[in-house]
Chains A and B, each alone.
Chain A
Amino acid sequence: MTLDGDWVRNATSRMDLTPRIEGRLAYTTDQRHLPGLLHGAILRSAHAHARITGVDISRAREMPGVHAVVSAADVPGPNRFGIVIRDQPVFCDERVRYEGDSIAAVAADTPEQALAALDVIEVGYQPLPVVSDAALAEQQVALHNSHEEHGGSNLLARETLERGDLEDAFSRCTVIVEHHYQTPRQMHAFMETEGGVAIPDDNGGVLFRVGCQSGHRDAEQLADILGLAHDQVTVESTATGGAFGGKDELTVQPAAGLLALKTGRPVMIHLDRFESCRTGIKRHPVTVKMTTGCDAAGRLLAHKVEAVLDTGAYASLGPAVLENYLDHATAPLYRIEAYRVSGRLVYTNNGVCGAFRGFGGNQATFAVESQLDALAGKLGMEPSAFRQINLRSPGDAGSRDQTVRWTAPPAEVLAAAVASPLWRCHDAGTGRWLTGTGMAMGAQGNGLGDGLPDSGGGRISLSPAGHICVEFGFSDYGQNIVESIIQSVCNGVGCRETDVEVALGNSRGPDSGPTSASRSSVLVHGVLARILPGWMNLVRGHAAGLSGHPEDRLVFGPGGLYFNDHQVLSYRELAASVNLDELSASASQDFPVAPDAEQPVGRYLQLQIATVARVAVDRLTGRVRVTDLHHVTAAGRVIYPPGYLGQIEGAAVMGQGMALTEDMTTRDGCYLADNLDQYLIPTFHDAPVQRVDVLDSTPEDDPFPIRGVGELGIEAVAPAITAAIEMATGVRIRRLPVDPGDLLVGMAAQEQAL
């Protein structure tokens, strides 16, 4: 089933997208009209690694327009934050560990005055040796000296997943391939840089409207930092201009909150792109050695992985990324007799890495899929035939012996990819452009992963204006979640789209957990399935009393309730007739995890994708154009076609960027790119033509028919592109982004060999 134009247009025609197009949607950084608004700015470190010998803010206080200057001494609560480990200072006072570290912040009447005041803050630094190479980090000076937390080393976490007798399995292999792979420090490059406002209330509390992904968690951390009771901090995550994991950590909130409390006025901080590049989290770069072997028939027997992930100066979600990397490095789609998959997560002075769409998984899949192609090549087999032999069947346990719910048999996903029209394109062997087609597969689980508490709730009610109001704690940063919720409610209730109002991301509303890990859609469906039947009974019962019609003959429909096909009460009339609190319902649920494993493995709801890529490589320069991407997805039912399609297409082009141009490289801990003229993401003309085919054989009564597809599209793009490049040129690239110069040299060597 191809997600094509008519399907998309039918669904969009019922949604109102015009406020976004007309620029009327209020983003967090749009709130310039707030009375008394001040502008904040943050002083960043001048060094990637240094001891701080002194911070003098006295001159800054006297600068024109300045209302407040804050530094470490002004933080009432713990001067620390972080989702997993609170190891990142709000303001550094002893040591800076990356060039984005904060030291002080200023609130002034204008942004220019705030910047001018930063210039006169005097900071004494005593530079320390910079830890810039992740491979050597464990032998170098420790960035964090607390022994309890990190054992006095730069090794933040290590983990090994094992299965079977690896040595024995390798001894029985006919073919073994061993390669090193490297993936880049990709930047999220959301279009709206980090920012928003902190607004003090009359009771000593603060309201935050800042682009974020987890209002409830942020509110908790912020209350601690600000020394406030938890109910004194409110987070409203209004429309956000992109996130992709990059706004999962706190960004400007602590500084804005402190300044707002100190001045008693709303304070806006909006990082410019230079500062965003310098301070924002990135994707973990991974270097890995993979050794993989199979028997003469092509059956995978043994797989060994040794990975090093560079988490940068602070932990952020690094430990969870490591875990997800390792899970994906076990090759979840394939049966492998024995593996030892191990990884080390190290601190360096290279910025900070954290959550990013794919979350370590796509880095691992790049290497795993490349290994499969290498083995197939050694055996002289088609890569698809090699995969066919090793793919799991729907009844099999997962790679970690957990129960898995697929939404289609992996073999069918592969078969659909093999049937792609791209394989039948003619490849010219001569001329300037060398063309080729390649494929890769990937699997991805929904949910936060192993051992992390994961649950979420929602609420439904009638608004005074007669809307069916649905509340969740998720943030809207452009993932079409509002449209998906509206569609789900319409499907469940039988109303029309304009009857539904969605309210998201208020920390005073229901806690749905973070907007990450492709978990929102699963939870929205689960929670609605729980609350809709009961809520509809409640409403019908009330309507029966009002209208005198029997409750069991009243039917929900467009605009109101119907009896014998005639509307007897509008939702507005209903709302006017009752204490609205009586007509509300809420519920929450735990995120579904594999029920029978000894310890919970968060890879129960599995999604699959196969991506077929077609490329053209310039014989003159090594430049690569991706002309087509054809995806086959198995990710449950499609609720809102434009959302599903857009998520796959968007993630795929992001993956293409990672494969071809994107890398925040560092020298001595400092980034070499600082804006979008140097860090190059794909333009319209770089983007390929794409097609998405959906396979879904989820049974009608499956309890989890809806899955989240926000990350799936990035999973297999990079290895599909490098496979296509190999098909076109004979050169296999194992370091991303593909360096056209390296490719050209490889191509020239191939020509010489002819």
Chain B
Amino acid sequence: MSDHYQVPEMPAQENLSFKLNGETITRAAASAETLLDILRESGQITSARAGCRVGRCGACQVLLDGRAVPSCLVMAWQLPGHHVETVEGLGEDPDFLSVRDALASESALQCGYCTPGFAVSLVAGLRQHRQGSPVDLAESVAGNLCRCTGYGGLRRAIDQLSASCCPDEAVGRGPSLSEEPL
């Protein structure tokens, strides 16, 4: 039975059509090419960056239909019909602007290479919160690595964002150093 199915010609290249920051992109790509490479090859997107290519550092994080994903683990064949957002396209997004201001005011970055990835993860967290999901913003950055800061500024930025955006949610594990212990 099963052997009677016709196997369609499957070129390794395929024509893609997906939305990038609101604009429709149509181009050819190898089926298994990573979204990260597709974004960077254009030269237009620099905010998604290769850090590990195995989905473990978050430096290439982008929004796929509003959810933060490592773009090195998304393949071309998975893109058609979906919407990809990078920080290049979030300039007017109110959630991004709050994230940007919190990161800047708390100096939550040093070399900055990982920072757009953190911003994307935090924007995704804030959006989920808007949609009514319980959100712990600290959990939203659990897949982003930063080697410079020791996460101190990020912790302060997340505290700031949580206080203004989701004051009811529990955050972090409570700063035992900022209060006199029992």
CB <8 Å contact, A689 and B155: yes
Decide if A152 is an interface residue (CB 8 Å cutoff): no
Task: Given A22-B91, A32-B41, A628-B176, check contact A642 B107 (CB 8 Å).
Answer: yes
A614 CB contacts on chain B under 8 angstroms? 176
A22 CB contacts on chain B under 8 angstroms? 47, 87-88, 91, 100, 116
Decide if B149 is an interface residue (CB 8 Å cutoff): yes
Chain B 136-157 residues near chain A, CB threshold 8 A: 138, 141-156
B110 CB contacts on chain A under 8 angstroms? 242, 478-480, 646, 650
Q: How far is the CA of A732 from the CA of B176 in the complex (A)?
A: 25
Decide if A424 is an interface residue (CB 8 Å cutoff): yes
CB <8 Å contact, B53 and A273: yes
Decide if A23 is an interface residue (CB 8 Å cutoff): yes
Q: How far is the CA of A681 from the CA of B175 in the complex (A)?
A: 22
CB <8 Å contact, B112 and A239: yes
Decide if A627 is an interface residue (CB 8 Å cutoff): yes
From A252-260, A311-319, A651-659, the one touching the partner chain is: A651-659
CB <8 Å contact, B54 and A21: no
CB <8 Å contact, B147 and A33: no
CB <8 Å contact, B111 and A240: yes
A190 CB contacts on chain B under 8 angstroms? 111, 113, 147
A239 CB contacts on chain B under 8 angstroms? 111-112
CB <8 Å contact, A191 and B91: no
Task: Given A270-B50, A478-B110, check contact A421 B100 (CB 8 Å).
Answer: no
Q: How far is the CA of A422 from the CA of B180 in the complex (A)?
A: 9
A687 CB contacts on chain B under 8 angstroms? 150-152, 155
Total CB contacts across the A-B interface at under 8 A: 215
CB <8 Å contact, B46 and A191: no
CB <8 Å contact, B107 and A23: no
A23 CB contacts on chain B under 8 angstroms? 46-49, 86-88, 115-116
Decide if B135 is an interface residue (CB 8 Å cutoff): no
CB <8 Å contact, B112 and A421: no
CB <8 Å contact, A32 and B43: yes
CB <8 Å contact, B105 and A646: no
Decide if B40 is an interface residue (CB 8 Å cutoff): yes
Chain A 69-93 residues near chain B, CB threshold 8 A: none
Give the interface centre of A26, A421, A651 by most chain B CB atoms within 10 Å: A421
A684 CB contacts on chain B under 8 angstroms? 138, 141-142, 144, 146, 151, 154-155
Interface of B (DSSP majority class): loop
Q: How far is the CA of A244 from the CA of B173 in the complex (A)?
A: 29
B145 to chain A, nearest CB (A): 6
Measured CB to CB, the nearest residue on chain A to B143 is: A683
CB <8 Å contact, B113 and A191: yes
Decide if B7 is an interface residue (CB 8 Å cutoff): no
Task: Given A30-B46, A627-B176, A690-B152, check contact A191 B107 (CB 8 Å).
Answer: no
Decide if A13 is an interface residue (CB 8 Å cutoff): yes
Decide if B94 is an interface residue (CB 8 Å cutoff): no
CB <8 Å contact, B52 and A677: yes
Q: How far is the CA of A116 from the CA of B115 in the complex (A)?
A: 33
A254 to chain B, nearest CB (A): 22
A192 CB contacts on chain B under 8 angstroms? 49, 51, 111, 113
Measured CB to CB, the nearest residue on chain A to B139 is: A685
B2 CB contacts on chain A under 8 angstroms? none
CB <8 Å contact, A26 and B46: yes
Q: How far is the CA of A138 from the CA of B18 in the complex (A)?
A: 61
Q: How many A residues face the partner with a CB closer than 8 A?
A: 70
Give the interface centre of A240, A241, A479 by most chain B CB atoms within 10 Å: A241
- Among candidates A9, A24, A244, A422, residue contacting B177 with C-beta atoms closer than 8 Å: A422
- Among candidates B41, B116, B145, residue contacting A681 with C-beta atoms closer than 8 Å: B145
B165 CB contacts on chain A under 8 angstroms? none
CB <8 Å contact, A654 and B150: yes
Decide if B119 is an interface residue (CB 8 Å cutoff): yes
Q: How far is the CA of A713 from the CA of B150 in the complex (A)?
A: 11
CB <8 Å contact, B103 and A21: yes
Q: Scoring B residues 89 to 131 as 1 if CB is less than 8 Å from chain A, else 0, what string do you get?
A: 0010000000010011111011111111001000000000000
Task: Given A12-B105, A23-B46, A691-B178, check contact A191 B111 (CB 8 Å).
Answer: yes
Decide if A267 is an interface residue (CB 8 Å cutoff): no
Q: How far is the CA of A152 from the CA of B110 in the complex (A)?
A: 44
Q: How far is the CA of A677 from the CA of B110 in the complex (A)?
A: 23
A690 CB contacts on chain B under 8 angstroms? 150, 152, 177
Decide if A548 is an interface residue (CB 8 Å cutoff): no
CB <8 Å contact, B181 and A425: yes
Measured CB to CB, the nearest residue on chain B to A647 is: B110
Q: How far is the CA of A33 from the CA of B42 in the complex (A)?
A: 8
Q: How far is the CA of A682 from the CA of B146 in the complex (A)?
A: 8
Decide if A147 is an interface residue (CB 8 Å cutoff): no
Q: How far is the CA of A211 from the CA of B176 in the complex (A)?
A: 39
Q: Scoring A residues 614 to 640 as 1 if CB is less than 8 Å from chain B, else 0, what string do you get?
A: 100000000000011010000000000
Decide if B56 is an interface residue (CB 8 Å cutoff): yes
Measured CB to CB, the nearest residue on chain B to A5 is: B156
Give the interface centre of A23, A29, A426 by most chain B CB atoms within 10 Å: A23
- Among candidates A191, A643, A677, residue contacting B59 with C-beta atoms closer than 8 Å: A191
CB <8 Å contact, B154 and A18: no
CB <8 Å contact, B177 and A421: yes
- Among candidates B48, B107, B152, B175, residue contacting A12 with C-beta atoms closer than 8 Å: B107
Task: Given A21-B119, A272-B50, A421-B177, check contact A676 B57 (CB 8 Å).
Answer: yes
Q: How far is the CA of A32 from the CA of B180 in the complex (A)?
A: 52
CB <8 Å contact, A13 and B177: no
List 21 A–B pairs whose Cβ atoms lie within 8 Å, in order of A's numbering. A8-B156, A11-B107, A12-B107, A20-B109, A22-B100, A25-B112, A27-B46, A27-B113, A192-B111, A421-B177, A422-B181, A478-B109, A628-B176, A643-B107, A645-B153, A649-B153, A650-B147, A650-B149, A653-B149, A683-B145, A691-B178
Sorted from nearest, which 10 A-B pairs have the closest CB atoms? Answer: A478-B111, A23-B47, A241-B113, A20-B112, A653-B150, A642-B107, A478-B110, A649-B152, A649-B150, A687-B151
Give the interface of B toward A (CB within 8 A).
40-41, 43, 46-54, 56-57, 59, 86-88, 91, 100, 103-107, 109-116, 119, 138, 141-156, 172-173, 175-178, 180-182
Question: Known pairs A192-B111, A239-B111. 18 more at Cβ < 8 A?
Answer: A5-B156, A8-B106, A8-B107, A24-B47, A29-B49, A191-B114, A273-B52, A424-B182, A425-B176, A425-B182, A426-B182, A614-B176, A646-B107, A684-B155, A689-B175, A690-B177, A691-B177, A691-B178
